[in-house]
Structure 1
Amino acid sequence: MEHEQTYGRRPRRRGRKILIGFGVLLLVLVGLVVVADRVAVSVAERTIADEVNQQVAQQGARSAPPEVEVGGFPFLTQVLDGRYERITIKLRDVQGSVQGEAVALPSLNVDARGVRASLDTLRSGQGDVVAETVNGTGTISYQSVADLLNREGLVLSERDGKLAVTAPVDILGQRLTATGTADIVVGEQGRIALKFDNLDVEGLPDVPLARTLVKNFARSISVDVPLPELPFGLTVREVLPRPEGLTVTADARDVPINAAG
């Protein structure tokens, strides 16, 4: 009787071993698929980084190597569908020039959504890789803006959410210090308009001529500051002063993100 009971348990043990074996095999296969997916992502990110490098170089600028991240999982299904959820590009230490003056952007982050790229385009390298929307956020150092204003001793900074200025000014033979804030207006063709309306000057002589000279100085530093050409056809929408510099927000639609186009 005991022998029969022992014999009757063996099929169940064998069945459990088979199930465990299938489970292990399934986990291995899933792991291989995930590894293949991540390898494909890595290749795509390197390819996009190369394209971005070409765009930056074509615009006469330079930067640290782009950092690219392709979002969405699994990646391979996006490849087959020819549509990618999100591609994030980070550029650091961007160096451009405007009117012969160097302009530094410590950082430029680009977020591309709804990217379309057919499988044939990826295979051949021919054709367009197009993003439905591209949003960019960059930072321009205050020193770069001050250099463009070309005023000795002028210092720009952020104060209480406003663009603040401190600058030496000569008034009736006296070397005084002017302080104040500016309104920032986004102009056409990527220009930033700085409007300094009211400046305070400690020790200013209480005479009409002195006040007129201060107003003239304020007008002289109220200028349009052009931006270097941004990649991906980005158009500036907003500029805000931050402790680290002027933060520029830009966007574009239906943008080719491969240099060849």
Structure 2
Amino acid sequence: MRALRILLITAVVLGGLFVAADRLLLDYAEQEAAERVEARQGSSGTTEVSIAGFPFLTQVAGKELERVDVTVRGAEASAGGRRIVVTEMSAALHDVRLGGGFSSATATTATGTARISYADLARAADEAVTLAYGGDGKVKVTGSVDIAGRTLSRGVVSTVSLVDGDTIRVRADEVPGEGIPMVESLIRQKTDFDREISGLPQGMELEKVQAEEDGLVITVSGRNVPLTG
């Protein structure tokens, strides 16, 4: 009986040491992965990596991780050739395969969202244009034009959509003309625009875009997405 008790105590102690070692190595791996993601993407923002599943050591031994969650804040992309800041991008990467020597990691599938503030989107639009949430999934775009010595400023409610798989399109639902010839066309030249989004992580593609209170939310997905390497 005493021998059994000693065996159980030993098993508990060894199990505790295994768990502690597993968690220490997990913390190290997450920090290392975050640094490699930043290096690969040339990210100017901050990166957080969380590796799911337990135990971590058995996943490493099998060279495949169940799921890796990556959050990047303040990264730079481009819209129509203009610099744009992605407020936050979060992605869940599934079935991450580890390469030889653990020098690379590639996710079989990935899904996530990217958020762009209206202020940053406005910087990618034409000059003298402001953007804000217009309610009911719409965007409010305000622009000014000079007509016959008068400056007209108009705010329009616009629909935002994704076209050609990589371009955000903003179009006013209606522009009040007030009986002035060509005013609608001139206002639309300011408020309507298309911006191609590039610079997202390799392998990730845009799926849809939606206007919310604090910015545009872009759904992204990908296959065989390189995490590091």
Do both share a fold (TM > 0.5)?
yes
Give me the CA root mean square deviation: 2.2
Letter matched to residue 92 of structure 2: D
Cα 1:255–1:95 change in 2 (3 A) is closer
* Residues 198 and 218 in structure 1, CA contact (< 8 A), matched pair in contact too: no
Q: Percent identity?
A: 27
Aligned match of 1:4:
none
| Alignment partner of 1:28 is 2:4 | no
Deviation track 1:137-188 (CA, whole Å, cap 9, x = no partner) reads: 1111211221222231x22112222112223344454433312222222123
Normalising by structure 2, what TM-score?
A: 0.88
| Alignment partner of 1:132 is 2:117 | no
Structure richer in helix, relative to its length? 1
Normalising by structure 1, what TM-score?
A: 0.78
Letter matched to residue 132 of structure 2: S
* Residues 110 and 222 in structure 2, CA contact (< 8 A), matched pair in contact too: yes
Which segment is superposed worse, 230-239 or 184-193? 184-193
Letter matched to residue 213 of structure 2: P
| Alignment partner of 1:246 is 2:222 | no
Q: Structure 2: where are the runs of 5+ without partners?
A: none
1:1-261 equivalences in 2 (<5 Å): 15=1, 17-57=2-42, 61-64=43-46, 66-98=47-79, 101-118=82-99, 120-122=100-102, 125=103, 128-152=104-128, 154-158=129-133, 159-188=135-164, 190-200=166-176, 204=178, 207=179, 209=181, 212-258=182-228, 260=229
* Residues 154 and 187 in structure 2, CA contact (< 8 A), matched pair in contact too: no
Cα 1:192–1:248 change in 2 (3 A) is same
1:23 is displaced (CA, Å) by 2.9
SS of aligned partner of 2:54: coil
Greater Cα radius of gyration, structure 1 or 2: 1
Letter matched to residue 257 of structure 1: L
1:31 is displaced (CA, Å) by 0.5
SS of aligned partner of 2:93: strand
